[in-house]
Chains A and B, each alone.
Chain A
Amino acid sequence: MKESLLTGLAAIVGPRWVRHRRAELATYTMDGLPTHESWPGVVVIPGSRHELIDVMKALHASKTPFVARGAGTGLSGGALAEGNAVLVALTRLNHILSVDPASRRAVVEPGVVNARLSEAVLPYGLQYVPDPSSQTACTIGGNVAENAGGPHCLKAGVTTNHVTDLEIILPDGSLARLGSTHGDAWGPDLVGLFVGSEGMFGIACSITVRLEPIPPAVRTMLADFPGIRAASEAVSAIIASGIVPAALEMMDQSCVQAVEASIYAAGYPTDAAAVLLVELDGQPEGVAAEHAVVEPLLRAHGARHVLTAESAADRARLWQGRKKAFGAMGRIAPDLVVQDAVVPRSALPDVLDRISEIRDRYALHISNVFHAGDGNLHPNISFDRRNLELASRVREASREIMTVCVAAGGSITGEHGVGNDKLDYMPLIFDAETLGAMQATRRVFDPGERANPGKVVPIHACREWCASPAARGNGRQQHGSLAEVAHD
């Protein structure tokens, strides 16, 4: 089967863009979470929309499973393929098709890198707001699939709030248009359904996004705290005051130290237990008024210093450090796992205490860097996977952290998606019926179940799990709708 498929694909995209030799496949065995590894059957890199459509038709004709891949920065093992599944890399579909500054829309191919889009619309005084920390590398297609968030999504909303319509290629190679560029589409919100679907419903091949004007006034504050609890209480206090900052991010000492040792050193105080980055934006008077409230709040909750960045260069430096923090953690140990739980903001101080306690009990190195304003935690555990005993402690601690977050009323993913990394956690928050409904929705788009097989919905785990009454007792039905899987 493989030979004829290879020839067929090569005839569509040219032999240079079909990768099947072992060494080449090796470079596609991981995404941004290299603790998961799996070998695709073939990698195909189409060079145009046309070629992509033909590739999808060929895969359909040969009943071959496939997985879409953007930049491979995903943190849940989503863009991995195994067995005979074909990895469809979208990196060559990287054109900004049109920019309409008057109605503030841009149409892009899926492989456009997030930061490139904002750069391209800057001359019009516009920006594409969702700014995942990986924005210099990740693609808009990957952002759509994961419903990516970012520091500036606190006030402005995550990817789904910024996509107006999509052209998608269904797993059978046919095209569908979802949503509408201006105004609301009739009927159910299919764009909302597709955004966050993690490659299970087909491939987004043209994406229309909303652009926003760059706010006239911006102030970024750096506050450092002697204790994590104090910092998280400050977060709760700001949110309770009714002010919604443009961004509200937190880093603990371990994270700050890794950043400060890197080329992205931002001048964060390395002796602080935690630092907060708070950004306010809007009209100058509004920003000044909010600043007058937020700064004293930070101090009242124990901030040792509150520094306000004056220049655009200073702001950029403060943000660079935060955005490269995850990467900088390679300095601590060769391996890293990152969690992505969401907890109610009011529960933040207690959950962080529990995580510290788990860290001490398992004797692990955990760094916390997260979107505090959303209650979206990213505890990063540094380790060396060659130490098997350590690796098993990491696994157990991860699971315990997740259980704590769920018990606090939280969810298992804020923005990185389920992929194959969090499959096992799905039954923690969804019961068998809900998981079954998700699977049924998936079949509407993909009756052959060929799109990103084995990810997101734990079919096998689910059956076993259903069979065990003990397990059922642990399950908590929390959410009911598909959209919430990845949209929390």
Chain B
Amino acid sequence: MPGSTDPRFAALDPCVHCGFCLPACPTYLATGDEADSPRGRIVLMRALERGEIGAADPALTQHIDACLGCRGCEPACPSGVGYGQGLEAAREILAERRGIAPAARAILTVFSNRLFWRTLLTAAGWFRATGLPARWASGTRLGFGMGMLASTRRHRVPRSFPGFHMPHSAPTVALFRGCVMDTVFRHVNEATRRVLEANGYRVVDINGQGCCGALHEHAGDRKGAESLARQNVKAFGGRANYIVVNSAGCGALLKQYGHLLGTRDGEHFGSRVRDVSELLAAKGPRQGGPLPLDVVYDAPCHLQHAQKVQAEPLAVLNAIPGLRLRLLPGSDKCCGSAGIYSTLHPDMARAVLDDKIRGIAAASPAPRVVTTGNPGCHMHIGAGLRAAGLHATVLHPVELLDESYRVGGLYSRQQ
């Protein structure tokens, strides 16, 4: 392809149009339409860059918007095309010229304000507790939303435990609590704290933190993302050796705060961020008690592609004796959740998900648990399983490890 003049698009230059990325792209697999493929979108981005097709062209925006941003196409590309970089540049141009869609704007406003999201998500948690979402979960659009909420349900509650004795030299970690994780997935945050302590990390609390800004950044609202990033950088300051996060989508952006803000503080923040699986894998992690379960792991795109964290979640799961862990074909493909994508493009999101659900339904023996480390994927896959009438439950890998530690008695005695 002819070289680029805008440096932001230069990452697309090596594309030779070979097509190796096509089968790696969930939206192309769902539609078979090259306009929904990485190669096709690269053509569109180049046309946008050169001004051959305008930012207001509805066909162009439709197909760029329909990209999940999962970057599954990058590891398939022998030429090393930086698809993600090109997409970021294209989305910025689109956001500049046509603004952000009202539906997306509304969602982003909620997540920009702590009071808004906390109220809304806490209410969602109460609604979940009524059991109605689980009952109303189905394949319809509303039912799917109910299924998403229902799949956040906490499944087993480990009793409170006396706590671990920690030597003074223990590395300190500050938990990034997030928004969704701190409300409907609060139990995962609690499990994260317990398993980290069990592996010798001292967990400290940080007040004044907010949403990471990833949703804003994906939608092209860079200002919104920057303002949230500044707030978080200030809140965490220089405290703790590591900043630990259990949501892959948040982690991917937190690690990029230096790039986003272009400041020293941002850089210092980003360099200390770790996915919880990275910290655990660095310690082994400790073995727990047996959980004889059929489990399939599904890799979140923001963990495997954006953060290049691939082996660590498996190391966490392998610390659980008796767990029958499998990777199904396509476990490395995007589920279609992709932040607020599933809300904005429900049809494509479902089409992409259907492939995965079919794979899970066909697996023998049938898995009891699907495990994945990102709240969006968790809810999207959970709702898909419910809509298909499957009985598998979605859990964060940390929840499984936590349960294994409980069964193994790690929490029942002073350690």
Contacts and interface: CB of A to CB of B under 8 A. Distances in A.
A305 B66 CA distance: 50
A363 interface: no
Interface in A310-364: 324-331, 334-336
Interface stretch (B29-37, B172-180, B212-220): B29-37
A386 interface: yes
A257 to B, nearest CB: 13
B329 to A, nearest CB: 8
A421 to B, nearest CB: 14
Nearest to A119: B329
B57 A22 contact: yes
A72 B19 contact: yes
B143 to A, nearest CB: 23
B16 interface: yes
B338 to A, nearest CB: 21
B15 interface: yes
B79 A331 contact: yes
Contact of B16 (A45, A72, A138, A327): A327
B26 to A, nearest CB: 14
Interface in A258-289: 259, 261-264
A24 interface: yes
Contact of A23 (B15, B63, B329): B63
A138 B19 CA distance: 8
B2 interface: yes
B33 A45 contact: yes
Interface string B7-43: 0000001111111101100000001111101011101
Interface in A58-116: 71-73, 89, 91-92, 94, 111, 113, 115
Nearest to A93: B32
Contacts of B76: 136
Contact of A32 (B18, B40, B43, B63): B18
Contacts of B43: 26-27, 29-30
B34 A92 contact: no
A385 interface: yes
Contact of A26 (B33, B44, B58, B81): B44
Interface string B135-171: 0000000000000000000000000000000000000
Given A26-B43, A386-B2, A89 B33 contact: yes
A46 B186 CA distance: 47
A23 B60 contact: yes
Nearest to B77: A327
B1 A34 contact: yes
A48 to B, nearest CB: 12
A450 interface: no
Interface in B261-293: none
B47 interface: yes
B238 interface: no
A119 B16 CA distance: 27
Contact of B33 (A19, A94, A115): A19
For chain A, the bracket of interface size reads 35 or more
Contacts of A328: 78-79
A420 interface: no
Contact of A331 (B32, B39, B80): B80
Contact of A334 (B1, B59, B60, B78): B1
A21 interface: yes
A201 interface: no
Given A34-B16, A134-B18, A324 B1 contact: no
A430 interface: no
A127 B20 CA distance: 21
B409 interface: no
B75 interface: yes
A255 to B, nearest CB: 12
B385 to A, nearest CB: 25
B53 interface: yes
Nearest to A89: B32
A27 B34 contact: yes
Contacts of B1: 34, 334-335
Interface in A131-178: 134, 136-138
Determine chain B's interface SS by DSSP, over half rule.
Answer: loop
Nearest to B79: A330
Contacts of A329: 16, 79
A73 B18 CA distance: 6
Interface string A212-227: 0000000000000000
Candidate in B19, B22, B329 with the most chain A CB atoms within 10 angstroms: B19
A17 B33 CA distance: 8
A17 B31 CA distance: 9
Contacts of A33: 17
Contacts, number: 135
B23 A262 contact: no
Nearest to B46: A26
Contact of B34 (A22, A72, A262, A326): A72
Interface string B52-81: 010001111001000000000001111111
A108 B19 CA distance: 21
B389 interface: no
B32 A111 contact: yes
A370 interface: no
A326 B18 contact: yes
Candidate in A27, A33, A134, A384 with the most chain B CB atoms within 10 angstroms: A27
A22 B53 contact: yes
Contact of B19 (A22, A71, A262): A71
Contacts of A386: 2-3
Nearest to B76: A136
Contacts of A384: 2-3
A128 interface: no
Nearest to A263: B75
A263 B19 contact: no
Nearest to B16: A330
Contacts of B81: 330
B2 A134 contact: no
B59 A24 contact: yes
Nearest to A138: B19
B53 A262 contact: no
A336 B2 CA distance: 10
B206 to A, nearest CB: 37
B169 to A, nearest CB: 39
Contacts of B35: 19, 23-24, 27-28
Given A331-B14, A335-B1, A23 B44 contact: yes
A99 B154 CA distance: 44
Interface in B349-402: none
A330 B78 contact: yes
A34 B17 contact: yes
A476 B37 CA distance: 44
A27 B41 CA distance: 7
Contacts of B31: 45, 92
A264 B78 contact: yes
Nearest to B3: A334
Contacts of B14: 330-331, 334
Contacts of B79: 262, 327-331
Given A34-B16, A326-B18, A335 B32 contact: no
A367 to B, nearest CB: 12
A261 B14 CA distance: 13
A137 B20 contact: yes
A262 B58 CA distance: 36
The 4 A-B residue pairs with the shortest CB-CB distance, nearest first, are: A330-B79, A27-B40, A91-B32, A327-B78
22 contacts: A23-B44, A23-B47, A23-B57, A23-B59, A23-B60, A24-B59, A27-B40, A27-B41, A27-B43, A27-B44, A31-B17, A32-B17, A34-B1, A72-B19, A72-B34, A73-B18, A137-B19, A259-B78, A263-B78, A327-B20, A330-B79, A334-B13
Given A23-B35, A71-B19, A91-B33, 5 more contacts: A23-B59, A262-B79, A262-B80, A331-B79, A334-B14
